[in-house]
Structure 1
């Protein structure tokens, strides 16, 4: 009732005699108070009672420090990507004595939900939004000889069909020769490899592709690239024919045709190497070493979510993703990958320390960015 009185008190105090009488009659009928009592409380309305909030300490307070460590080692993955990674990440860090947790804390870490992870890390999360320069120039000589393949054609790809792109480390100036990164991602498994080379020459691009080809845990069966001149040339055409590699190209200026690799360009290359200009042999050695370590970190400790369905209802688009899995896990699940390859990957995984890898990668990135 006090809430009703407070709602009408201001109106009562500023009303005339007749209006006050009408208001009193109305309230008497509504709430049953006497006129005398109503006149008193409308002139001096009672203050609203402040409800005391019962502050209950979250059970996850005790694991927030460990969660921050795991989040940092995962390179600040979101809750939906971090949650499936926690079990293997905790095991890897404990194996290398980089993390100490009690059985109770481990249980809490494994039962925490993605939403709770994001909520607990709200104040720690910072977004970085940096834009770089595009340096892709279309090659025109062989366009009519290279078939176009769009994003929709990759739905049921098997391991070995990849998207590739060239990332330019030119900084703010496009003059002179500088370092390029050949970035590759396997569509079926999300396996990612990078190789740095100095200059944009066709032979160097092919040499970088050949280096990556030797690192893949499965045969290279097909490549899809944009219309850049480093890819649309006779040298790459002959290389693909010689190695029985299918080659296709994306449509010009349609980035969704290469959605997988365009995402990797930022989340992998730019995130660890940055946008600074790099044009020396010393920087090339540092970046090359960085990519060797990054291959282990990215493919064994970075979960990826794949788009399952995309439904458009007018202006509303609903996307559904599968469970976040590491590329290593996706390779192990494939029936078309030899058992020997899987066993080699398991042995390689056991030797890896994700925290040490990330520290070395970030250290190399800082050194390479200093000229």
Structure 2
């Protein structure tokens, strides 16, 4: 009566047991064992194995299950006795390169997220610091050891602060022993994204579209032009991104009545100003030995944002003219 008053009284679903079951739990276990040994072949091949176990090799325990029909084998594979032991899942191969975990910047610059952007014959390697959004782009003609080793050195050397964490997705261009050896030599921790956690590398993924694709486009670029693109990146594009292109920074996370998360990006500044802000707040020196605040201030104050952006666009036009309309000898 109490359950009826509370509205918790429900009709129990009747499950009728089949008293005329032909194949016993032991027969299902034999089928399960066969599937486990042969990695679950199709029903026709499995039926032939069961038949041979009884008729050819004379194993008495297979006498009953050998007479099962081909179509009924798939029914028995859904039997509770079968599925409790057999799991036909993906066989993972553990590769001891990188640690599967989200990056841990500890509110300090130096935890970079990295990804590649494919533009037909060239690859843009894009690296973004998580705290300051300091961004460095490098271009390589192919994803190979001969190109990746110098490219990573150029990329890491262009960051004004010490890099201590290198986070990538699980792609083969970064999950390999060449990259791992470089990072180990530089004492940089290598982390990789978790499966089904697309936000682990979301920052650099957004920069791929808003920075690389927006400026370099989608058209085919011959791999012979990779060195010229790299020179443009180093001299013009990377300084523009870090000293003259403002970024939005997260300041607050709110939740409404439905527990939906809303992020507020209340700070707008260039990455260099964010770098100085972090320095003032932490009072820690994270710059590399070859970098000083005086050198960075000189670069930041040499041109205004529009003046430097105009120079970048002029150099960009010159670069694209060389790429798409090369001068004939």
Q: TM-score range by the shorter chain?
A: 0.5 to 0.7
* Match of residue 190, structure 2, among 229, 235, 247: 247
C-alpha contact (below 8 Å) 2:128/2:136 kept by paired residues: yes
The structural deviation recorded for 1:315 is: 7.0
Give CA-to-partner distance per residue, 1:86-117, whole Å, 9 cap, x none: xxxxxxxxxxxxxxxxxxxxxxxxxxxxxxxx
Give CA-to-partner distance per residue, 1:173-224, whole Å, 9 cap, x none: xxxxx21111111112111000101101134223211101111111121100
* Match of residue 157, structure 1, among 107, 127, 149: 107
Give CA-to-partner distance per residue, 1:278-301, whole Å, 9 cap, x none: 2231x2233213312111111011
* Match of residue 325, structure 1, among 258, 262, 269: 269
Query: What is aligned with 1:49?
Result: none
* Match of residue 226, structure 2, among 281, 284, 293: 284
Query: What is aligned with 2:118?
Result: 168
Deviation >4 Å, runs of 4+? none
Paired with 1:202 and 1:342, the residues of 2 have a C-alpha distance of 34
Query: What is aligned with 1:59?
Result: none
> In terms of mean alpha carbon deviation, does 140-149 or 187-196 score higher?
140-149
Is the aligned partner of 1:311 residue 2:254? yes
The structural deviation recorded for 1:360 is: 2.5
Paired with 2:162 and 2:96, the residues of 1 have a C-alpha distance of 27
More helix as a share of residues: 1
C-alpha contact (below 8 Å) 2:102/2:191 kept by paired residues: no
Paired with 1:229 and 1:265, the residues of 2 have a C-alpha distance of 18
Paired with 2:221 and 2:203, the residues of 1 have a C-alpha distance of 25
CA-based RMSD of the aligned residues comes to 2.4
Larger RCO, structures 1/2 (Cα 8 Å, 6+ apart)? 1
Paired with 1:363 and 1:142, the residues of 2 have a C-alpha distance of 47
* Match of residue 99, structure 2, among 131, 134, 147: 147
Query: What is aligned with 2:314?
Result: 360
SS at match of 1:164: strand
Paired with 2:167 and 2:189, the residues of 1 have a C-alpha distance of 8
Total equivalences in the alignment? 222
**Which structure 2 residues correspond to residues 7-86 of structure 1 after superposition, within 5 A?**
none
Paired with 2:100 and 2:112, the residues of 1 have a C-alpha distance of 14
SS at match of 1:228: coil
**TM-aligned CA distance change 1:354 to 1:280, over 3 Å:** same
Give CA-to-partner distance per residue, 1:302-324, whole Å, 9 cap, x none: 11112233334327432112311
Give CA-to-partner distance per residue, 1:2-45, whole Å, 9 cap, x none: xxxxxxxxxxxxxxxxxxxxxxxxxxxxxxxxxxxxxxxxxxxx
Q: TM-score, normalised by structure 2?
A: 0.61
C-alpha contact (below 8 Å) 1:294/1:361 kept by paired residues: no
SS at match of 2:99: coil
Paired with 2:171 and 2:217, the residues of 1 have a C-alpha distance of 21
Q: TM-score, normalised by structure 1?
A: 0.55
Structure 2 spans left out of the alignment, 5+ residues? 1-91
SS at match of 1:189: coil
Paired with 1:273 and 1:349, the residues of 2 have a C-alpha distance of 24
The structural deviation recorded for 1:361 is: 4.5
Is the aligned partner of 1:237 residue 2:180? yes
Structure 1 spans left out of the alignment, 5+ residues? 1-139, 171-177
**Which structure 2 residues correspond to residues 265-280 of structure 1 after superposition, within 5 A?**
265-280=208-223
**TM-aligned CA distance change 1:336 to 1:288, over 3 Å:** same
